[in-house]
């Protein structure tokens, strides 16, 4: 346990785990994804809350999520579209007031909830347990972007994280709270920066292999030329934060 962690938790925490899930246009799978996560977390006997943020979806996602209204384990946030990164940050800031551990995953079901029990079981000796996707069939352009993100983090922050932007990450609130304030609310890829800071400050990190499968519903929101523009933006923002760490 990190110095000061016990007092931090006793003063502000309610739950053991807060799951942060940004959602955008996932009407075809979101109900099943939420139910899968609830079943896994219930099965582990965890005191948890799921913070599900609908980022201005234009399909029927909001209506699908509305079926969970009234569930005391699910906190639904319906917000104006601001993008994946800012939505994650909004979820993180709320989660920090809710639980000892913060876990972030995406809503596309590419990394299944069934991977979580083994990852959760490794947490006690670490400050962060980060998924490492096993994805041999990833599209070439995304392999390139992932490689660029990894090299960026290694150059500015150091080694320590294998999959720097993985949306399957468990971090102690007492650690995440020290990093979030360094990140601007409009940051495109905050998880890349969080990975970098975790590495640079020598927090105890476990890279944990998780299975990955291509999405079967919905559409990838950033493709082709937009993907490379996003990579450039992420690089610039990561560079800016690296100067303050």
pLDDT of 21-74, one tens digit each?
Answer: 999 999 999 999 999 999 999 999 999 999 999 999 999 999 999 999 999 999
Lowest model confidence (mean pLDDT) among 2-6, 29-33, 68-72, 79-83: 2-6
Please give the average per-residue pLDDT across 231-237, as a whole number: 66
Model pTM?
A: 0.84
pLDDT of 111-156, one tens digit each?
Answer: 999 999 999 999 999 999 999 987 656 666 666 666 667 777 766 6
Asked whether the predicted pLDDT for residue 214 surpasses 90, the reply is: no
Domain region containing 204: 5-242
CATH of the domain at 166: 3.90.550.10
Domain count along the chain: 1
Asked whether the predicted pLDDT for residue 159 surpasses 60, the reply is: yes
State how far the Cα of 142 lies from the Cα of 201, in Å rounded to an integer. 28
């Amino acid at each position: 346990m990190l110095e000061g962690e016990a007092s931090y938790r006793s003063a502000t925490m309610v739950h053991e785990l807060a799951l942060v899930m940004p959602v955008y246009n996932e009407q075809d799978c979101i109900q099943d994804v939420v139910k899968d996560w609830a079943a896994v977390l219930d099965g582990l006997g965890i005191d948890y809350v799921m913070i599900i943020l609908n980022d201005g979806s234009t399909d029927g996602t909001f209506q699908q999520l509305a079926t969970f209204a009234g569930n005391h384990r699910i906190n639904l946030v319906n917000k104006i579209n601001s993008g994946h990164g800012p939505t994650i940050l909004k979820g993180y800031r709320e989660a920090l007031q809710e639980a000892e551990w913060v876990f972030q995953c995406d809503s596309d079901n590419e990394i299944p909830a069934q991977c979580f029990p083994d990852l959760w079981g490794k947490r006690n000796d670490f400050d962060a347990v980060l998924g490492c996707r096993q994805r041999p069939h990833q599209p070439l352009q995304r392999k390139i972007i992932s490689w660029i993100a990894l090299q960026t983090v290694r150059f500015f922050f150091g080694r320590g994280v294998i999959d720097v932007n993985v949306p399957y990450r468990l971090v102690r609130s007492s650690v995440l709270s020290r990093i979030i304030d360094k990140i601007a609310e409009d940051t495109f890829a905050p998880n890349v920066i969080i990975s970098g800071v975790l590495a640079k400050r020598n927090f105890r990190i476990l890279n944990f292999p998780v299975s990955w499968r291509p999405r079967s519903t919905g559409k990838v929101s950033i493709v082709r030329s937009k993907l490379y523009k996003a990579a450039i933006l992420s690089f610039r923002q990561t560079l800016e934060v690296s100067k303050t760490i």
